[in-house]
Structure 1
Amino acid sequence: MAVAELCLFPLGTESPSVGEYLRPVIDVIASSGLKYRVCPMGTVVEGPVDEILELVERCHRAILEAGAKRVVISLKIDDRIDKPPTIEGKVGV
């Protein structure tokens, strides 16, 4: 299991507002079956690394299909083998 932070930045849009491009991405994340938490500057996801990477690919397609001409993706993955990481454990909840 791993905890990952995923941030997608749509570029080539006609407006500084990006909600219309990110809504489909959040829908993809919500339907993934992975535990997640939407944060102000990105989304945190918990699950197996291979499933997280597959999710990133689906998010990439979703934001382009929403009309972004270009996308920059930032991905951080914390994958531990000594104990299972959790979203709550990362923030001390």
Structure 2
Amino acid sequence: MSVLLEFAMFPTSDNCREGSSVSKQVAKIIDAIDKSGVTYKLTPMGTIVETQTMREALDVIELAYEQVKDCERVYSSLKFDIRHNSDDRLTTKIKSVETHLDRDVKK
């Protein structure tokens, strides 16, 4: 099974922000995910992880929250794509779309 989880998590309270920036807190989350060994991809709007079970995906969310739990208020949004009999979808889904693109056409 492949569980793709796209999520964003960051503090909204003043006690954990530097002005309007939350990058320092987000970096703590990414560092923890990186050290966990979970396959992930950081994007400008969130992070995508791929796990083999829903429990592992939820463990990533708990790990992320542990990094910002001292913040008064934390915002998070989550999206899941769960598929049986599949793996490595973090890269294969992109490759599948790219096979349908006409790379010779400039837009």
If the length of structure 2 is used for normalisation, what is the TM-score?
A: 0.75
Q: Distance in 2 between matches of 1:69 and 1:91?
A: 37
Task: Give the whole-Å Cα distance in 1 for the aligned partners of 2:47 and 2:93.
Answer: 14
Structure 2 letter corresponding to 1:19: S
Amino acid at match of 1:27: D
Q: Distance in 1 between matches of 2:25 and 2:4?
A: 24
Q: Deviations over 1:57-79 (max 9, x none)?
A: 111110224xx321111111111
1:3 aligns with 2:4: yes
What is residue 93 of structure 2 aligned with on the other side? 90
Give, in angstroms, the shift of residue 9 of structure 1. Answer: 2.7
State which of 20, 23, 26 in structure 2 corresponds to 1:22: 26
Deviations 1:33-90 (A, max 9, x none): 111111111011011221110110111110224xx32111111111111433611123
- Aligned to 2:36, the other structure's residue is in SS state coil
Would the aligned equivalents of 2:10 and 2:25 in 1 still touch at CA under 8 Å? no
Residue in structure 1 matched with residue 39 of structure 2 by the alignment: 35
**Larger fraction in strand:** 1
What do you get for the CA RMSD once the two structures are aligned? 1.7
| 1:59 pairs with one of 54, 57, 64 | 64
Q: TM-score, normalised by structure 1?
A: 0.85
Note if contact 1:79-1:85 (Cα within 8 Å) is conserved in structure 2: no
Query: Taking every aligned residue pair, what percent have the same amino acid on both sides?
Result: 31
Which stretches in structure 1 are left out of the alignment for 5+ residues?
A: none
Larger radius of gyration: 2
Aligned residue identity for 2:20: P
- Mapped to 2, the partners of 1:37 and 1:9 lie a distance apart of 17
